[in-house]
C-alpha cells in the first residue's frame, strides 16, 4: 500500500524579496516573500510532471503560506502600467509624500532593491519633515532593514518620544541583536504594561543569557519582578527561567518559591501563637493582680499580716483592699483578746480571670455582716433571672462569685441599657425609700419614663448603698 501524492511546486525561484508586514489572508504579522518561479504539477511535491508556466508569487505568508500568484507576463504588464501611471502623478507633484510612498512601493515590486533604496533616499532629501521620517521608518521596517528603521525611529523619538515608540525601537533592536539597548528602552517606558512588556522583557533576558551575558539577563529578570510583582509569580516559564539563571550564576534564590507557599500557612500560625502568648501573659499578669478585701466589723481595730508580710491595722468598720497574687496564703489576725491564722486560697480559672472574677474576703472574726447582692439589670429582663440578696455573717473567709460588686459598696456609675431606659427611669422613680431595691423592681415594671427624676434617684441609690454599709457592718461584734 502506498499513497500517490499530487501537488504544485515552484522551481527556479528568482528575484526573491522578503518583507515584514501584515498578511492579507491570516492577518498576522509575518515575513512575506515575493519571487518569480516556474510552477509545476508534481508527484510527491518533487517530481515535476506538468509545467504550468512562469509565475510571479506575491507576498507568500510565512505563517499561513497563502499568497497571490499571476503569470509572469501579465504581472509585468500590469505592474508596468501601474508604474507609468504612478510616475506621471509623482512627476506632477514630487513634493507629495503619499504619492512618493506609493511610488516607492511600486518600485519595490518592479525593480531590484538598490533602486528602491535610492528612491527612498531621494524622498528623504526632497520632502523634509517628521512625517517623511515616520513614513520611511515604517518603510525600512517593512523592508526588514532594521538598522535603518531604528535610525529613523530614533529621529522621531528626538522630537517626541512615547511608550509606543520605545516599544517599537526595543522590538527592532531585539531583531538586530542589540539586547541591552532593547532592555534600556523597555525599562524606560512610562507606564509598564504586563501584556505589552512582560514577554518582550522576558525574551530579552533569555536572549542576553543565550549570548553569554547572563549577568545582565538576570538584571532584566529582576527588573521584571520589580515591575510586575505578583503577576510574574504566576508565570511558571518565567520562574523556571529564573531558577536556571540562579543556578548558572550561583546566586541565592530571588523568590524563595517554596516559602511563598509556606508563608500562607506560617502567617496565621505565627499570629495564632502571638495571640496565645498574649493570652498567657495577660493571664499571668491578671493572676498577679488580685485583691483581697479585709473587713473588720468589730468595734476595735485588728492587726493583719498576709503571708508573713508587714502587718497592718484594719480599723473599726473599715474595709482594706490588699493587692495580692494568686495562690494559697496564710492570713494572721490579731485582736486584743486573741489571734489566729487562716488558709486563704486565692485562685481563679483562666476563664474566671478574664470574665467573672471572684471577690475574696477575709472577715475579721466573722464580725462583718456582708451583703451579697446579685443584681439583675434591665438588659437581662428576658432571662427572667431573679435578683438575690444574702447576708453573710460569721465566716472567716469567703470567695464570693456571681456578684456585681463586693458588699454593699455601690457602683460609682450606673450605665443605663439603652433598650430599657424607660423602665429603668420609671423604677428609679418608684423606689424612693430604698434605692437598692430599684434594681429588683426592674423586673416588675415596664412603663412611663420620668427623666427629670433619674439623676436624683441614681444618687439616692448610691447613698442607699453607703447607708447599708453603715447599717450592717457593726451589727455583729465579738468582744
CA 319 to chain centre: 57
Least distance (Å) from Zn ion to the CB of residue 40? 23
Least distance (Å) from Zn ion to the CB of residue 140? 22
Helix axes 236-249, 194-210, angle to 10 degrees: 30
* Count of H-run helices and E-run strands, the chain: 15, 14
Query: Of 63 and 181, which has the nearer Cβ to Zn ion?
Result: 63
Least distance (Å) from Zn ion to the CB of residue 59? 9
Question: For cell 487562716, what's the residue?
Answer: 342
Strands, E, within 62-116: which ranges? 68-71
Least distance (Å) from Zn ion to the CB of residue 65? 7
Strands, E, within 44-163: which ranges? 47-61, 68-71
Instruction: Please check whether residue 333 is in contact with residue 366, taking contact to mean a CB–CB distance below 8 angstroms.
Output: no
Query: Of 63 and 316, which has the nearer Cβ to Zn ion?
Result: 63
> Alpha-carbon distance 475 to 333, whole Å?
20
Question: Which residues, at least 6 apart from 222, have a Cβ–Cβ distance to it below 8 Å?
Answer: 254
Of 389, 381, 383, 388, nearest in space to 443 by CA: 381
Query: Of 47 and 64, which has the nearer Cβ to Zn ion?
Result: 64
Instruction: Please check whether residue 363 is in contact with residue 370, taking contact to mean a CB–CB distance below 8 angstroms.
Output: yes
Q: What is the CA radius of gyration of the chain?
A: 49
Query: Of 6 and 8, which has the nearer Cβ to Zn ion?
Result: 8
Query: Of 64 and 91, which has the nearer Cβ to Zn ion?
Result: 64
Least distance (Å) from Zn ion to the CB of residue 24? 8
Question: Which residues, at least 6 apart from 256, have a Cβ–Cβ distance to it below 8 Å?
Answer: none
Query: Of 60 and 116, which has the nearer Cβ to Zn ion?
Result: 60
Footprint of Zn ion on this chain (CB under 5 A)? 23, 25-26, 61, 63-64
Least distance (Å) from Zn ion to the CB of residue 34? 14
Q: Quick one: 404 exposed, middle or buried, by C-beta within 10 A (0-12, 13-18, 19+)?
A: middle
Least distance (Å) from Zn ion to the CB of residue 64? 3
Query: Of 23 and 106, which has the nearer Cβ to Zn ion?
Result: 23
Least distance (Å) from Zn ion to the CB of residue 20? 13
Reading the block at residue 75, the C-alpha cell is 504581472
Query: Of 34 and 227, which has the nearer Cβ to Zn ion?
Result: 34
Reading the block at residue 35, the C-alpha cell is 519571487
Amino acid at each position: 500500500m502506498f499513497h500517490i501524492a499530487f501537488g504544485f511546486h515552484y522551481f527556479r525561484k528568482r528575484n526573491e524579496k522578503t518583507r515584514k508586514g501584515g498578511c492579507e489572508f491570516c492577518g498576522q504579522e509575518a515575513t512575506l516573500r515575493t519571487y518569480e518561479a516556474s510552477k509545476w504539477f508534481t508527484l510527491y511535491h518533487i517530481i515535476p510532471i506538468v509545467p504550468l508556466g512562469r509565475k510571479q508569487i506575491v507576498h507568500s505568508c510565512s505563517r499561513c503560506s497563502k499568497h497571490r500568484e499571476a503569470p509572469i507576463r501579465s504581472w509585468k504588464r500590469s505592474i508596468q502600467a501601474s508604474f507609468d501611471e504612478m510616475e506621471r502623478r509623482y512627476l506632477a507633484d514630487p513634493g507629495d509624500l503619499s504619492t512618493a510612498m506609493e511610488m516607492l512601493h511600486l518600485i519595490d515590486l518592479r525593480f531590484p532593491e538598490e533602486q528602491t533604496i535610492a528612491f527612498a533616499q531621494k524622498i528623504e532629501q526632497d520632502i523634509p519633515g517628521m512625517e517623511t521620517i515616520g513614513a520611511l521608518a515604517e518603510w525600512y521596517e517593512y523592508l526588514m532593514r532594521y538598522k535603518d528603521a531604528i535610525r529613523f525611529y530614533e529621529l522621531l523619538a528626538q522630537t517626541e518620544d512615547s511608550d509606543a515608540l520605545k516599544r517599537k525601537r526595543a522590538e527592532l533592536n531585539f531583531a538586530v541583536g542589540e539586547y541591552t539597548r532593547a532592555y534600556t528602552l523597555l525599562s524606560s517606558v512610562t507606564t509598564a504594561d504586563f501584556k505589552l512588556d512582560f514577554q518582550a522583557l522576558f525574551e530579552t533576558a533569555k536572549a542576553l543569557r543565550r549570548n553569554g551575558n547572563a549577568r545582565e539577563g538576570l538584571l532584566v529578570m529582576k527588573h521584571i519582578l520589580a515591575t510586575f510583582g505578583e503577576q510574574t509569580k504566576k508565570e511558571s516559564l518565567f520562574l523556571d527561567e529564573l531558577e536556571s539563571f540562579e543556578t548558572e550564576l550561583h546566586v541565592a534564590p530571588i523568590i524563595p518559591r517554596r516559602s511563598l507557599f509556606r508563608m500562607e500557612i506560617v502567617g496565621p500560625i505565627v499570629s495564632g501563637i502571638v495571640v496565645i502568648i498574649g493570652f498567657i501573659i495577660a493571664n499571668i499578669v491578671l493572676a498577679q493582680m488580685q485583691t483581697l478585701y479585709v473587713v473588720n466589723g468589730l468595734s476595735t481595730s485588728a492587726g493583719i499580716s498576709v503571708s508573713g508580710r508587714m502587718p497592718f491595722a484594719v480599723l473599726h468598720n473599715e474595709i482594706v483592699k490588699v493587692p495580692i497574687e494568686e495562690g494559697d496564703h496564710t492570713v494572721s489576725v490579731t485582736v486584743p483578746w486573741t489571734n489566729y491564722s487562716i488558709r486563704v486560697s486565692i485562685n481563679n480559672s483562666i476563664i474566671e480571670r478574664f470574665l467573672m472574677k471572684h471577690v475574696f474576703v477575709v472577715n475579721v472574726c466573722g464580725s462583718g455582716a456582708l451583703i451579697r447582692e446579685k443584681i439583675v439589670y434591665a438588659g437581662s429582663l428576658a432571662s427572667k433571672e431573679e435578683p438575690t440578696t444574702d447576708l453573710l455573717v460569721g465566716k472567716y473567709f469567703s470567695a464570693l462569685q456571681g456578684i456585681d460588686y463586693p458588699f454593699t459598696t455601690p457602683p460609682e456609675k450606673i450605665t443605663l441599657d439603652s433598650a430599657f431606659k424607660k423602665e429603668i427611669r420609671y423604677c428609679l422613680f418608684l423606689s424612693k425609700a430604698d434605692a437598692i431595691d430599684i434594681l429588683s423592681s426592674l423586673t416588675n415594671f415596664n412603663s412611663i419614663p420620668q427623666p427629670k427624676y433619674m439623676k436624683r434617684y441614681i444618687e439616692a441609690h448610691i447613698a442607699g448603698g453607703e447607708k447599708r454599709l453603715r447599717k450592717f457592718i457593726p451589727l455583729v461584734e465579738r468582744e
